[in-house]
Amino acid sequence: MSTLEAKGLGLSYGGAFIFEDLNLAIPKGKITVFIGSNGCGKSTLLRSMARLLKPQHGSVLLDGVDIASMSTKEVARKLAILPQGPTAPEGLTVLQLVKQGRYPYQSWLRMWSREDEVAVQKALEATDMTTLSEQSVDSLSGGQRQRAWIAMTLAQETPIILLDEPTTYLDLTHQIEILDLLYEMNDRDQSTIVMVLHDINLACRYADHIVAIRDGIIEVQGRPDEVVNVQLIETVFRLKCEIIPDPLYGTPLCIPYDNSRLRAVRAAQHQAIHNARG
């Protein structure tokens, strides 16, 4: 089982450091979710761990080897990433896109094989894209397009998968379907999955390990039930809330306060009590 960790990592954007001397070991065979407010560095960290962003200093280690020293195909056979907002060439079909996930296994000695075909078909079926396989990617809805990209990532069949906001553009039904799919992959294959998610409640429901990021530092990390509490949400998101157990799964469920709406509700309750007494 492959391992992924950052050691003494320094990352900058536009000349300003986002992270300095960051250390992080991704739990093997688990689902890890990065949470934090916009601009805190979640996506930057994920991209650096996939070798899409060169660190200023420090290193990312894949199976104990500096990922910067590895060939592209070597990395791609161990680690797949789905970045935010990927784009496909005009006219490319879903099937052609998903086949790109098998690129790391191709060479002049090894051309397209039955194994590749099976991997592609499994990925299309898992993402419910089989019937759309001959359609062009640019003709799809936002949700369908996202599932096509996820299918390509699954076809790569790597032990580590990184996904930057994989539920973007998806309605609630397809959000749950994709997260269920990733959960089943992790359960079946012990895949190591790392995601950036904005929905705290879905993060708590699906994650084995939460990494909460604030202003370029790891505020806390651990199991959702250990680290997600009222204080964390206020510190990381500057949001007041209540945390209760999810009635289905027992995981932390964040109920945010909306001051304006809360005042209106309380005023209506007060008026109702006043009317009942009057």
Domain ranges of the chain: 4-78+159-239, 87-157
Distance separating alpha carbons of residues 123 and 154, to the nearest angstrom: 6
The token pair that represents 198 in the structure block: 């904005």
The token pair that represents 206 in the structure block: 């699906």
- In the structure, what pLDDT confidence band is assigned to residue 271 with cuts at 50, 70 and 90? low
Q: Which residues, 6 or more positions from 145, have their beta carbon under 8 angstroms from its beta carbon?
A: 137, 138, 169
Architecture of domain 4-78+159-239 in CATH? 3-Layer(aba) Sandwich (3.40)
Containing 109, the helix (H) or strand (E) segment is: none
Judging by DSSP bridges, how do beta strands 192-196 and 31-35 pair with one another? parallel
Tell me the per-residue pLDDT of 107-121, one tens digit each, with 9 for 90 and over. Answer: 766 677 889 999 999
Q: Which residues, 6 or more positions from 103, have their beta carbon under 8 angstroms from its beta carbon?
A: 73, 76
Residue whose C-alpha is closest to residue 148's, from 168, 175, 173, 130: 130
- In the structure, what pLDDT confidence band is assigned to residue 2 with cuts at 50, 70 and 90? confident
The mean pLDDT value for 80-84 works out to: 90
Q: From residue 64, give the alpha-carbon distance in Å to each of 67, 75, 81, 117, 231.
A: 9, 12, 19, 32, 35
Cα 235 to the chain's mean position, in Å?
22
Check residues 195 and 19 and name the one with the higher pLDDT: 195
pTM of the model: 0.86
The mean pLDDT value for 228-235 works out to: 95
Judging by DSSP bridges, how do beta strands 209-214 and 57-62 pair with one another? unpaired
Angle between helices 172-189 and 142-155 (to 10 degrees): 10
Strand order in the sheet with 57-62: 16-26, 4-13, 57-62, 65-66
